[in-house]
């Protein structure tokens, strides 16, 4: 059960090995790796290629928010191991940006909890993307689809 | 009390944080927003009515009705875009 926010890259194989090592109750490990993708944004008549971005975050709150999300996943599913590693700073297209790994005795819980964690961290953890375009820097706007994805997991009020 | 600004709000206000001592009738996050608007044109623009931003009190997400009495740190930021 761990949350890390760091500037450095991570080694997926080494992270998964460390996460599952010594725990024989894990029957399934679901893993999500987010990458910075090359994007093309239309600005008027121009089409700009974005090939780098800077991720700003709120040190202190970020870790708390990710731990809250992790705790929520552990309440909802029978999980043996969880790991969230999120990078910040300047990242280029193709770079790894986030790792979410969830181990459970059974695959259904691992898949569901992994998707839940990714959906919630996008809308509940304080990160902001600043894109570099040939025309200058541009803050990324929140995506409505992300809110809808996160809302799928909201529990109906009692 | 420390107030912090993130992403484009930091650029609009002109700095990342400031120490403030609001009057006693500034009781909630919403009261603080209204009070901060009077500090500069940058504040007024960043915290304008209708602007899309959220807040945190002592590093926990907070709605505008949350009291700020005793808080050490209040932050304002645009919607999150991580992941």
| Contact assignment for B60 to A139 by CB distance below 8 Å | no
CA B78 to chain A, closest CA, distance in angstroms equals: 8
What's the total number of domains in chain B? 1
pLDDT at A155 over 90: no
Is B82 contained in some domain? no
Is A154 contained in some domain? no
Q: pLDDT tens digits, residue range A50-81?
A: 779 999 999 999 999 999 999 999 999 999 99
CA A107/CA A126 separation, integer angstroms: 29
Closest CB to B79: pick one of A65, A130, A142.
A142
Is A46 contained in some domain? yes
Q: Which CATH number is B8's domain given?
A: 3.10.20.30
Q: pLDDT tens digits, residue range A80-123?
A: 999 999 999 999 999 999 999 999 999 999 999 999 999 999 99
Is A150 contained in some domain? no
Beta bridge partners of B25: none
Domain enclosing residue A66, as ranges = 2-133
What's the total number of domains in chain A? 1
Under 8 Å CB-to-CB from B66, ≥6 apart: which residues? B28, B29, B55, B57
Find residues 99-158 of chain A whose CB sits inside 8 Å of chain B: 118, 121-130, 139-143, 146
- Identify the weakest region by mean pLDDT among A21-35, A55-69, A121-135, B50-64: A121-135
CA B48/CA B36 separation, integer angstroms: 10
- Establish how many alpha carbons lie within 13 A of residue B43's alpha carbon, considering only the half-sphere containing its beta carbon: 13
The pLDDT value recorded for residue A128 is 96
Mean per-residue pLDDT for B47-73? 95
Mean per-residue pLDDT for B52-56? 95
CA A36/CA A27 separation, integer angstroms: 30
The pLDDT value recorded for residue A42 is 67
Is B63 contained in some domain? yes
Is A152 contained in some domain? no
B50 to chain A, any CB pair closer than 8 A? The answer is no
CA B27 to chain A, closest CA, distance in angstroms equals: 22
Is A146 contained in some domain? no
Domain enclosing residue B19, as ranges = 2-77
Structure-token pair, residue A127: 């990160």
The pLDDT value recorded for residue A151 is 85
ipTM score assigned to the predicted complex? 0.93
- CA-to-CA separations, A154 to A134, A149, B9, B54, in angstroms, rounded: 39, 10, 28, 19
The pLDDT value recorded for residue A44 is 67
Residue of B nearest to A146 (CA): B81
Measure the CA angle with vertex B40, ends B56 and A124; round to 5°. 20
Beta bridge partners of A142: none
Is A158 contained in some domain? no
Is A149 contained in some domain? no
Under 8 Å CB-to-CB from A101, ≥6 apart: which residues? A15, A16, A19, A29, A30, A31, A32, A81, A82, A83, A114
Q: Which CATH number is A26's domain given?
A: 3.90.1170.40
């Amino acid at each position: 059960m761990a949350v890390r926010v760091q500037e450095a890259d991570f080694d997926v194989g080494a992270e998964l090995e460390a996460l599952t090592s010594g725990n024989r109750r894990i029957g399934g490990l679901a893993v999500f790796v987010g990458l910075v993708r090359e994007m093309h944004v239309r600005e008027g008549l121009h089409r700009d290629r974005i090939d780098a971005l800077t991720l700003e975050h709120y040190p202190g709150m970020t870790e708390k928010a990710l731990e809250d999300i992790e705790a929520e996943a552990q309440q909802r599913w029978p999980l043996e191991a969880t790991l969230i590693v999120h990078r910040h700073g300047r990242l280029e297209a193709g770079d790894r940006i986030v790792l979410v790994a969830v181990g459970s005795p059974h695959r259904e819980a691992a898949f569901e909890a992994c998707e839940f964690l990714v959906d919630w961290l996008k809308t509940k953890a304080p990160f902001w993307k600043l894109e570099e375009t040939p025309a200058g820097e541009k803050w990324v706007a929140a995506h409505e689809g992300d809110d809808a994805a996160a809302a799928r997991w909201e529990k109906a009020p009692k | 009390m420390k107030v912090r600004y993130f992403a484009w709000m930091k650029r609009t206000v002109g700095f990342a944080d400031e120490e403030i001592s609001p009057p006693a009738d500034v009781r909630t996050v919403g009261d603080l927003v209204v009070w901060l608007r009077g500090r500069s044109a940058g504040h007024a623009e960043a915290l304008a009515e209708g602007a899309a931003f959220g807040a945190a009190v002592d590093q926990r997400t907070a709605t505008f009705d949350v009291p700020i009495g005793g808080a050490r740190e209040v932050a304002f930021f645009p919607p999150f875009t991580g992941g």
